Amino acid sequence: MTPTKTALLSALAASALILAACSSSDTATTEPTNAPSAIETASESAEVAASASVVATTTMLGDVTSEIVLCAGGNVDVLMPNGVDPHDFSASSDQIASMISADLVVVNGLDLESGLTDSLANARSDGANIFEVAPLLDPIEFGAGSHSEEGHSDEEGHDDHGSLDPHFWFDMNRMATAAELIGAELTTATGDEAYTACAQTTATEIRAAEGDVRALLESVPADKRILVTDHEALGYLADAYGYEIAGTVIPAGTTLAEPSSADLAALVATIKAEGITAIFSNTSSPTALAEAVAAESGTNINVIALYIGSLGEPGSPAATYIDMMRTNAQLIAEGLQG
């Protein structure tokens, strides 16, 4: 090959390389790519970092908080399993550690979680961000809605709770307000306004469902709106929906108290005098005492279990807070009119 031809071929090869490089450069700048940009990656990382880690004590608060966090981002751990009495639950060491590391710990308060008192105090001293909801909801006194306190001391059974009733979730409007408070607290903890907006949506859903519950409970004639329950847990329902509580099997705001023989005798007398047809027990507590009172009354009384301290299992009629309230309202309406 002559020197001239060799030089020509070398020049052509060099030109081809330059053209290929230009073509590659053009393709990289003009064709779309699926790879995320540095800005997108940073944005996604910030979004993940902003997602809240939340612990809730009871299943009712856990369900409402989960609705908010599902909307805005993050995860919720519920300490109490379904079907557990909140008055008598204690936390494991792992659960205490989860409270300390969470962005927010949502607690009912007013000593409902009496078995968690020491655990919550220890977690708070170790830096846990604990938010007690019930004291912020204009709580009522124990005994609201009651018209018979025969045999019951005003102070009896209230040593653990004080005089304020912690069972606020039986007033759905209070629970809607609780959702808004939880959302605002999550916004404070994370700096993300999405939690406040999502909480407002959750509160709206609860208030809409409250209309269904009210219609069911108001379908009971006024002269039949008299309740006998296993312990003092339905004061908010009685106060909000026009019911009276004639008596309780356990004359206390906690299932951990024990009635005296005089208490039980007084309740049997009240049942006979009032013509009571149903005793409403608790799915998370034994019903033996309620059944004994029903048998002792000598009348045809049904013992009907309500979802009082816990939601039902997944797939049950009370698997969510709203379903729980609708189911309880249906059971009460049917039990008092049956």
Q: What is the pLDDT of residues 81-104, one digit of tens each?
A: 999 989 889 999 999 999 999 999
pLDDT digits (tens, 9 = 90+) for 232-291: 999 999 999 999 999 998 876 666 567 778 888 899 999 999 989 999 999 987 778 889
Task: Decide which of 230 and 109 is more confident.
Answer: 109
Would you say residue 241 lies in a domain?
yes
pTM: 0.81
Number of compact structural domains in the chain:
2
Asked if 70 and 195 sit in the same domain, the reply is: yes
pLDDT tens string 141-176:
997 655 444 433 344 444 444 589 999 999 999 999
Q: Give residue for tokens 């902003």.
A: 50
207-223, pLDDT tens digit by residue?
999 999 999 999 999 99
What counts of helices (H) and strands (E) characterise the chain? 11, 8
pLDDT: which is higher, 28 or 34: 34
Same domain, 180 and 246: no
E strand spans, 110-173:
130-132
pLDDT at 229 over 70: yes
Contact 246, 228 (CB under 8 A): yes
Of the residues 190, 206, 222, the one at which a domain ends = 206
**Looking at 206, 233, 261, which one is the last position of a domain?**
206
160/68 same-domain check: yes
What tokens appear for 252 in the block?
A: 């206390």
pLDDT at 79 over 50: yes
The pLDDT value given to residue 16? 39
- Tell me the C-alpha to C-alpha distance, in Å, between residue 149 and each of 80, 152, 297: 32, 5, 18
Residue 30, judged by CB atoms within 10 A of its CB (0-12, 13-18, 19+), counts as: exposed
In terms of residue numbers, what domain contains 256? 212-337
Task: Judge if 307 and 250 occupy the same domain.
Answer: yes
Strand partners, 279: 303
Name the band, by pLDDT with cuts 50, 70 and 90, for residue 9: very low
Tokens at 316, concatenated: 């049950």
Last residue of a domain, one of 206, 222, 254: 206
Does residue 328 lie within any of the structural domains? yes
Provide the pLDDT confidence category of residue 299 given band limits of 50, 70 and 90: confident
How far is the C-alpha of 279 from the C-alpha of 288, rounded, in Å? 12
CATH number at residue 182: 3.40.50.1980
Instruction: Provide the pairing of β-strand 226-229 with 244-248.
Output: parallel
Task: Let me know if residue 25 belongs to a domain.
Answer: no
The tokens for 237 are 């329902």
